Structure 1
C-alpha cells in the first residue's frame, strides 16, 4: 500500500471515449475472515516513504518495457472484467489484503473487488493512481522510478508517484484505461498487476525486483 500522506479524491475530466458503457460490476469478498488491523497495513505505506528519491534508470527502462509489451489487441468491458478477475484471484490465493480496480479512460469503474480487511483509504489511492496514469500516460511505478516528485510536476495529493497503477494500452489506439491495485507495498501492487496481465496475454514479462537497482 502507498504512503500515508492524505489525498483527497477529485473528479478527473477525461474526454469520453467510444467504449460502450455498461453498469459497473463491484465485487467484494464476503466471508467471516478476521479484519486485518489498519496499523499493520500502514506499515507498508511507511516503506514507500523511506525510498530514496533519485532517478533509477534501469527501473525506468524495465517499467517502460512492461508498458510497451503488455499491450492488448482490443478492449471492452468484458475484457476489463476478465483482467480484474485474474488479478483478484491471484490476490485471494495469496491472502493479499488488496482492492483491485479496472477503469476506463473516462473514469468509469468497470471492475472492482476488495479482499477481506481492505480499508476505505484504499479507494483514495485507487483514484490517485488512476488520475496519475491518465494524466501522465505512464504507470505510477514508472513515475516513481523517474525520481520526479508530485511537487516538481505541479501535481497535488490527488495524484501519486507510488506503484500500483498501470495503463491499459490497445494496439494502434493508445491508452484506454487503467488497472489498479492498492493494499500491498507499492512495488508489490505493481507486480501483481504485471502477473495478471501476463496471465491474460500469455506473456512472461519479468517483474520488478528492487534488489536489481541497488
Structure 2
C-alpha cells in the first residue's frame, strides 16, 4: 500500500483534546515497548494539544517536531509522502525554495490528522532517531486509536 492511499484510510471519527492524550499515550507505550525514546507533538488548528518528550530525548527533538510538522502544514500531506515524492535534489531546490530548510525537515514522522466529514484539522508528529521509524510509530498509533474507537 502506498503512503498516499494509507493516509486516506487513516480518517478519525472525531478528535478531542482527550483523544490527543489517548493517542499520545498509545505512541508513548509503543515506543517504550521498543525501548526507543521519542518526542510527540499533536496539534489542532495550530494549537499544541499534546506535547511530550520521553526520557532520553533532548531539546533538539522539539525543533525536529516543528520542522517536520511544517511540511504537513504546507503540503497537507505526510512528511513521509513528501520525502518519497521528491528526490534529494528536488528537496534541496524546490521544497527548500518554498519553505526554509531552517524551518522544515523532509523526513517521515508527521501526518495530517483528518476527521470524517471535516477534513484535515492538523497533525501528529513523532521524532526519534529515524524518519522511517517515526512514520511507522505515527501510523501504528493512529491505527490503534481508530481500532479502539470503531463502532
Q: With structure 2 as the length reference, what TM-score do the two structures score?
A: 0.88
User: Higher helix share goes to which structure?
Assistant: 2
- Structure 1 regions of 5+ residues with no counterpart? 1-60, 204-214
Q: Does 1:138 align with 2:77?
A: yes
- Structure 2 regions of 5+ residues with no counterpart? none
Find runs of 4+ consecutive structure 1 residues off by over 6 angstroms. Answer: none
Max radius of gyration: which structure? 1
Measured in 1, the distance between the counterparts of 2:124 and 2:14 equals 15
Aligned to 1:174: 119
Aligned to 1:112: 51
Aligned to 2:40: 100
Q: With structure 1 as the length reference, what TM-score do the two structures score?
A: 0.63
Per-residue deviation, 1:151: 2.8
Measured in 1, the distance between the counterparts of 2:64 and 2:56 equals 16
Per-residue deviation, 1:99: 0.7
User: Higher strand share goes to which structure?
Assistant: 2
Spell out the pairing of 1:15-94 with structure 2 (5 A cutoff). 62-94=2-34
Aligned to 2:91, the other structure's residue is in SS state coil
Q: CA RMSD in A?
A: 1.5
